[in-house]
Structure 1
Protein backbone atom coordinates (compact mmCIF):
# COMPACT_ATOMS: atom_id res chain seq x y z
CA UNK A 1 0.00 0.00 0.00
CA UNK A 2 1.27 3.47 -0.85
CA UNK A 3 2.45 5.63 2.06
CA UNK A 4 1.99 9.36 1.54
CA UNK A 5 3.26 10.58 4.88
CA UNK A 6 6.14 9.22 6.96
CA UNK A 7 7.97 10.28 10.12
CA UNK A 8 10.96 8.86 11.98
CA UNK A 9 10.73 8.48 15.75
CA UNK A 10 13.13 10.80 17.62
CA UNK A 11 15.55 7.91 18.24
CA UNK A 12 15.21 6.89 14.54
CA UNK A 13 14.40 3.31 15.61
CA UNK A 14 10.88 3.40 14.12
CA UNK A 15 9.33 4.82 10.99
CA UNK A 16 5.60 5.59 10.97
CA UNK A 17 3.75 5.82 7.69
CA UNK A 18 0.22 6.55 6.59
CA UNK A 19 -1.47 6.95 3.26
CA UNK A 20 -4.44 6.16 1.08
CA UNK A 21 -5.83 3.60 3.51
CA UNK A 22 -6.82 4.26 7.14
CA UNK A 23 -3.98 2.16 8.60
CA UNK A 24 -0.73 3.53 10.02
CA UNK A 25 2.21 1.15 9.86
CA UNK A 26 5.29 1.21 12.07
CA UNK A 27 8.51 -0.19 10.62
CA UNK A 28 12.01 -0.88 11.77
CA UNK A 29 13.91 1.23 9.22
CA UNK A 30 17.10 -0.81 9.64
CA UNK A 31 15.47 -4.13 8.72
CA UNK A 32 12.33 -3.06 6.85
CA UNK A 33 10.25 -5.22 9.21
CA UNK A 34 6.69 -4.04 9.86
CA UNK A 35 6.44 -3.83 13.65
CA UNK A 36 2.73 -3.07 13.95
CA UNK A 37 -0.34 -1.64 12.26
CA UNK A 38 -2.41 1.03 13.99
CA UNK A 39 -6.07 0.89 13.04
CA UNK A 40 -8.80 3.34 14.00
CA UNK A 41 -9.19 6.01 11.34
CA UNK A 42 -12.16 5.76 8.97
CA UNK A 43 -10.46 7.42 6.01
CA UNK A 44 -6.98 7.95 4.57
CA UNK A 45 -4.19 9.23 6.78
CA UNK A 46 -2.97 12.72 5.89
CA UNK A 47 -0.09 13.19 8.34
CA UNK A 48 1.86 11.50 11.13
CA UNK A 49 4.18 13.08 13.72
CA UNK A 50 6.03 11.85 16.81
CA UNK A 51 6.17 13.59 20.17
CA UNK A 52 9.70 14.71 21.13
CA UNK A 53 10.05 11.82 23.61
CA UNK A 54 8.77 9.22 21.11
CA UNK A 55 6.07 7.95 23.46
CA UNK A 56 3.17 9.33 21.41
CA UNK A 57 2.40 9.29 17.72
CA UNK A 58 -0.15 11.77 16.33
CA UNK A 59 -2.04 11.17 13.11
CA UNK A 60 -4.57 13.21 11.18
CA UNK A 61 -7.03 11.77 8.74
CA UNK A 62 -9.57 12.72 6.11
CA UNK A 63 -12.15 11.43 8.62
CA UNK A 64 -11.70 14.82 10.38
CA UNK A 65 -10.00 13.35 13.43
CA UNK A 66 -6.59 13.53 15.03
CA UNK A 67 -5.59 10.43 16.95
CA UNK A 68 -2.93 10.23 19.63
CA UNK A 69 -1.46 6.74 19.74
CA UNK A 70 0.63 4.76 22.19
CA UNK A 71 2.91 3.08 19.65
CA UNK A 72 4.17 0.47 22.15
CA UNK A 73 0.65 -0.82 22.85
CA UNK A 74 -0.68 -0.03 19.35
CA UNK A 75 -3.61 1.70 21.01
CA UNK A 76 -5.43 5.00 20.62
CA UNK A 77 -4.94 7.19 23.69
CA UNK A 78 -7.12 10.12 22.60
CA UNK A 79 -9.27 11.24 19.66
CA UNK A 80 -9.73 14.88 18.74
CA UNK A 81 -12.63 15.71 16.42
CA UNK A 82 -13.17 18.84 14.39
CA UNK A 83 -16.38 20.69 15.06
CA UNK A 84 -18.85 20.29 12.20
CA UNK A 85 -21.50 22.96 12.84
CA UNK A 86 -23.19 22.45 9.48
CA UNK A 87 -23.39 18.64 9.66
CA UNK A 88 -26.29 17.35 7.60
CA UNK A 89 -27.03 20.67 5.89
CA UNK A 90 -25.93 19.18 2.52
CA UNK A 91 -25.57 22.06 0.11
CA UNK A 92 -23.70 19.86 -2.36
CA UNK A 93 -25.50 21.33 -5.41
CA UNK A 94 -24.54 24.95 -4.74
CA UNK A 95 -22.68 26.58 -7.64
CA UNK A 96 -20.19 29.43 -7.87
CA UNK A 97 -17.92 28.26 -5.05
CA UNK A 98 -14.14 28.11 -5.35
CA UNK A 99 -12.38 24.83 -4.59
CA UNK A 100 -11.11 26.33 -1.33
CA UNK A 101 -14.64 27.28 -0.29
CA UNK A 102 -15.90 23.79 -1.16
CA UNK A 103 -13.16 22.17 0.95
CA UNK A 104 -13.98 24.45 3.88
CA UNK A 105 -17.70 23.66 3.66
CA UNK A 106 -16.93 19.95 3.38
CA UNK A 107 -14.79 20.12 6.54
CA UNK A 108 -17.64 21.91 8.35
CA UNK A 109 -20.16 19.25 7.29
CA UNK A 110 -22.20 21.29 4.79
CA UNK A 111 -21.12 19.27 1.75
CA UNK A 112 -21.15 15.49 1.76
CA UNK A 113 -18.14 13.52 0.58
Structure 2
Protein backbone atom coordinates (compact mmCIF):
# COMPACT_ATOMS: atom_id res chain seq x y z
CA UNK A 1 0.00 0.00 0.00
CA UNK A 2 1.42 3.36 -1.03
CA UNK A 3 1.67 6.50 1.09
CA UNK A 4 -1.33 8.14 -0.58
CA UNK A 5 -3.57 5.12 0.03
CA UNK A 6 -2.35 4.78 3.63
CA UNK A 7 -3.19 8.41 4.38
CA UNK A 8 -6.53 8.11 2.61
CA UNK A 9 -7.47 4.96 4.56
CA UNK A 10 -7.13 6.83 7.86
CA UNK A 11 -9.84 9.34 6.90
CA UNK A 12 -13.62 8.98 7.27
CA UNK A 13 -15.30 7.98 4.00
CA UNK A 14 -16.87 11.41 3.57
CA UNK A 15 -13.46 13.08 3.88
CA UNK A 16 -11.92 10.59 1.44
CA UNK A 17 -14.53 11.48 -1.16
CA UNK A 18 -14.06 15.21 -0.63
CA UNK A 19 -10.27 14.96 -0.87
CA UNK A 20 -10.35 12.93 -4.08
CA UNK A 21 -12.89 15.30 -5.59
CA UNK A 22 -11.12 18.57 -4.79
CA UNK A 23 -7.39 17.94 -4.35
CA UNK A 24 -6.28 18.12 -8.03
CA UNK A 25 -8.11 21.40 -8.61
CA UNK A 26 -6.80 22.84 -5.34
CA UNK A 27 -3.19 22.07 -6.25
CA UNK A 28 -3.68 23.67 -9.68
CA UNK A 29 -5.15 26.81 -8.08
CA UNK A 30 -2.25 26.97 -5.62
CA UNK A 31 0.32 26.42 -8.41
CA UNK A 32 1.82 23.61 -6.32
CA UNK A 33 3.35 21.77 -9.26
CA UNK A 34 5.55 19.55 -7.10
CA UNK A 35 2.62 18.02 -5.22
CA UNK A 36 0.44 18.04 -8.34
CA UNK A 37 3.02 16.08 -10.31
CA UNK A 38 3.45 13.61 -7.47
CA UNK A 39 -0.33 13.15 -7.23
CA UNK A 40 -0.88 12.58 -10.96
CA UNK A 41 1.92 10.01 -11.15
CA UNK A 42 0.63 8.06 -8.14
CA UNK A 43 -1.17 4.87 -9.13
CA UNK A 44 -3.24 4.78 -5.95
CA UNK A 45 -4.63 8.24 -6.69
CA UNK A 46 -5.29 7.39 -10.34
CA UNK A 47 -7.13 4.21 -9.41
CA UNK A 48 -9.15 5.85 -6.62
CA UNK A 49 -10.13 8.81 -8.80
CA UNK A 50 -11.15 6.48 -11.63
CA UNK A 51 -13.32 4.28 -9.41
CA UNK A 52 -15.13 7.18 -7.75
CA UNK A 53 -15.57 9.66 -10.59
CA UNK A 54 -14.87 7.92 -13.90
CA UNK A 55 -12.37 8.20 -16.71
CA UNK A 56 -13.43 11.63 -18.03
CA UNK A 57 -12.90 13.29 -14.64
CA UNK A 58 -9.48 11.66 -14.49
CA UNK A 59 -8.50 12.86 -17.96
CA UNK A 60 -9.68 16.35 -17.07
CA UNK A 61 -7.26 16.40 -14.11
CA UNK A 62 -4.33 16.04 -16.50
CA UNK A 63 -5.78 18.55 -18.94
CA UNK A 64 -6.13 21.22 -16.26
CA UNK A 65 -2.72 20.47 -14.81
CA UNK A 66 -0.89 20.70 -18.15
CA UNK A 67 -2.61 23.95 -19.10
CA UNK A 68 -1.31 25.62 -15.96
CA UNK A 69 1.38 28.17 -16.86
CA UNK A 70 3.52 27.68 -13.75
CA UNK A 71 5.46 24.57 -14.79
CA UNK A 72 9.22 25.01 -14.77
CA UNK A 73 10.06 21.50 -15.97
CA UNK A 74 9.11 20.36 -19.46
CA UNK A 75 10.04 16.81 -18.49
CA UNK A 76 7.35 16.73 -15.82
CA UNK A 77 4.76 17.96 -18.30
CA UNK A 78 5.91 15.29 -20.77
CA UNK A 79 5.44 12.60 -18.12
CA UNK A 80 1.89 13.76 -17.37
CA UNK A 81 1.11 13.88 -21.09
CA UNK A 82 2.20 10.26 -21.51
CA UNK A 83 0.07 9.06 -18.61
CA UNK A 84 -2.90 11.05 -19.85
CA UNK A 85 -2.40 9.61 -23.33
CA UNK A 86 -2.32 6.05 -22.00
CA UNK A 87 -5.53 6.59 -20.05
CA UNK A 88 -7.20 8.20 -23.06
CA UNK A 89 -6.24 5.31 -25.34
CA UNK A 90 -7.71 2.96 -22.74
CA UNK A 91 -10.83 5.01 -22.01
CA UNK A 92 -13.25 2.87 -24.04
CA UNK A 93 -12.07 -0.16 -22.06
CA UNK A 94 -12.01 1.51 -18.63
CA UNK A 95 -15.57 2.77 -19.07
CA UNK A 96 -16.66 -0.85 -19.29
CA UNK A 97 -14.21 -2.42 -16.83
CA UNK A 98 -12.17 -0.35 -14.38
CA UNK A 99 -10.20 -3.40 -13.26
CA UNK A 100 -8.33 -3.21 -16.58
CA UNK A 101 -6.45 -0.09 -15.39
CA UNK A 102 -3.18 -1.72 -14.23
CA UNK A 103 -2.90 -3.95 -17.30
CA UNK A 104 -3.64 -1.07 -19.64
CA UNK A 105 -1.00 1.16 -18.04
CA UNK A 106 1.59 -1.63 -18.10
CA UNK A 107 0.88 -2.50 -21.72
CA UNK A 108 1.07 1.10 -22.91
CA UNK A 109 3.78 2.68 -20.71
CA UNK A 110 6.30 -0.07 -19.98
CA UNK A 111 8.62 1.05 -22.79
CA UNK A 112 9.11 4.55 -21.33
CA UNK A 113 12.23 4.65 -19.16
CA UNK A 114 11.03 7.60 -17.10
CA UNK A 115 11.54 7.13 -13.32
CA UNK A 116 8.10 8.42 -12.31
CA UNK A 117 6.36 6.18 -14.84
CA UNK A 118 8.36 3.11 -13.85
CA UNK A 119 7.64 3.81 -10.18
CA UNK A 120 3.94 4.14 -10.95
CA UNK A 121 3.99 0.80 -12.77
CA UNK A 122 5.67 -0.83 -9.78
CA UNK A 123 2.83 0.50 -7.63
CA UNK A 124 0.34 -0.98 -10.08
CA UNK A 125 2.18 -4.31 -9.94
CA UNK A 126 0.97 -4.88 -6.38
CA UNK A 127 -2.66 -4.04 -7.20
CA UNK A 128 -4.87 -6.88 -5.96
CA UNK A 129 -8.48 -5.69 -6.19
CA UNK A 130 -9.08 -8.53 -8.67
CA UNK A 131 -6.94 -10.91 -10.78
CA UNK A 132 -5.30 -9.27 -13.80
CA UNK A 133 -2.79 -10.13 -16.52
CA UNK A 134 0.48 -8.19 -16.30
CA UNK A 135 2.20 -7.81 -19.69
CA UNK A 136 5.86 -8.85 -19.69
CA UNK A 137 6.59 -6.49 -22.59
CA UNK A 138 4.98 -3.38 -24.12
CA UNK A 139 2.01 -4.97 -25.86
CA UNK A 140 -0.52 -2.19 -26.45
CA UNK A 141 -0.47 0.97 -28.56
CA UNK A 142 1.61 3.55 -26.64
CA UNK A 143 0.67 7.22 -26.28
CA UNK A 144 2.22 9.73 -28.64
CA UNK A 145 1.23 8.07 -31.90
CA UNK A 146 -1.54 8.71 -34.39
CA UNK A 147 -4.21 6.77 -32.50
CA UNK A 148 -5.85 9.09 -29.97
CA UNK A 149 -9.13 7.40 -29.06
CA UNK A 150 -11.19 4.37 -30.02
CA UNK A 151 -14.93 4.61 -30.66
CA UNK A 152 -16.83 1.40 -29.88
CA UNK A 153 -20.41 0.66 -30.96
CA UNK A 154 -20.78 -0.44 -34.59
CA UNK A 155 -21.23 -4.14 -35.31
CA UNK A 156 -20.02 -3.91 -38.93
CA UNK A 157 -17.25 -2.27 -40.94
CA UNK A 158 -17.15 1.53 -40.71
CA UNK A 159 -17.17 2.86 -44.27
CA UNK A 160 -17.58 6.62 -43.78
CA UNK A 161 -16.66 9.20 -41.14
CA UNK A 162 -17.11 12.97 -40.99
CA UNK A 163 -16.16 15.46 -38.27
CA UNK A 164 -18.30 18.56 -37.77
CA UNK A 165 -17.10 22.04 -36.72
CA UNK A 166 -19.16 21.59 -33.54
CA UNK A 167 -16.98 18.72 -32.35
CA UNK A 168 -19.18 15.81 -33.41
CA UNK A 169 -18.17 12.67 -35.28
CA UNK A 170 -20.68 10.93 -37.55
CA UNK A 171 -19.89 7.40 -38.69
CA UNK A 172 -21.66 5.19 -41.22
CA UNK A 173 -21.35 1.43 -41.11
CA UNK A 174 -22.10 -1.84 -42.84
CA UNK A 175 -24.46 -2.52 -39.93
CA UNK A 176 -26.91 -0.12 -41.67
CA UNK A 177 -26.66 2.57 -38.97
CA UNK A 178 -25.27 6.05 -38.53
CA UNK A 179 -23.83 6.96 -35.15
CA UNK A 180 -23.15 10.40 -33.72
CA UNK A 181 -20.29 10.74 -31.24
CA UNK A 182 -18.77 13.40 -29.01
CA UNK A 183 -15.27 13.90 -30.43
CA UNK A 184 -13.81 15.05 -27.12
CA UNK A 185 -15.15 12.28 -24.88
CA UNK A 186 -15.76 9.47 -27.36
CA UNK A 187 -19.28 8.96 -26.02
CA UNK A 188 -22.07 7.86 -28.34
CA UNK A 189 -24.77 10.53 -28.59
CA UNK A 190 -27.26 8.93 -30.96
CA UNK A 191 -27.82 6.02 -33.35
CA UNK A 192 -29.78 6.65 -36.54
CA UNK A 193 -31.53 3.60 -37.96
CA UNK A 194 -33.76 2.99 -40.96
CA UNK A 195 -31.33 2.27 -43.79
CA UNK A 196 -31.89 -1.02 -45.54
CA UNK A 197 -28.31 -1.40 -46.70
CA UNK A 198 -24.79 -0.57 -45.65
CA UNK A 199 -23.83 3.10 -45.49
CA UNK A 200 -20.95 3.94 -47.79
CA UNK A 201 -20.79 7.76 -47.65
CA UNK A 202 -21.90 10.73 -45.53
CA UNK A 203 -22.43 14.29 -46.78
CA UNK A 204 -23.07 17.24 -44.47
CA UNK A 205 -25.13 20.16 -45.79
CA UNK A 206 -25.25 23.58 -44.19
CA UNK A 207 -28.54 25.15 -43.14
CA UNK A 208 -28.69 27.34 -46.26
CA UNK A 209 -28.66 24.42 -48.69
For the aligned pair, the TM-score class normalised by the smaller chain equals: 0.3 to 0.5
Q: Which has the higher helix share?
A: 2
Scaled by the length of structure 1, the TM-score of the pair is 0.44
Scaled by the length of structure 2, the TM-score of the pair is 0.24
Q: Which has the higher strand share?
A: 1
Pick the structure with greater CA Rg. Answer: 2
Higher relative contact order (CA 8 A, sep 6+): 1
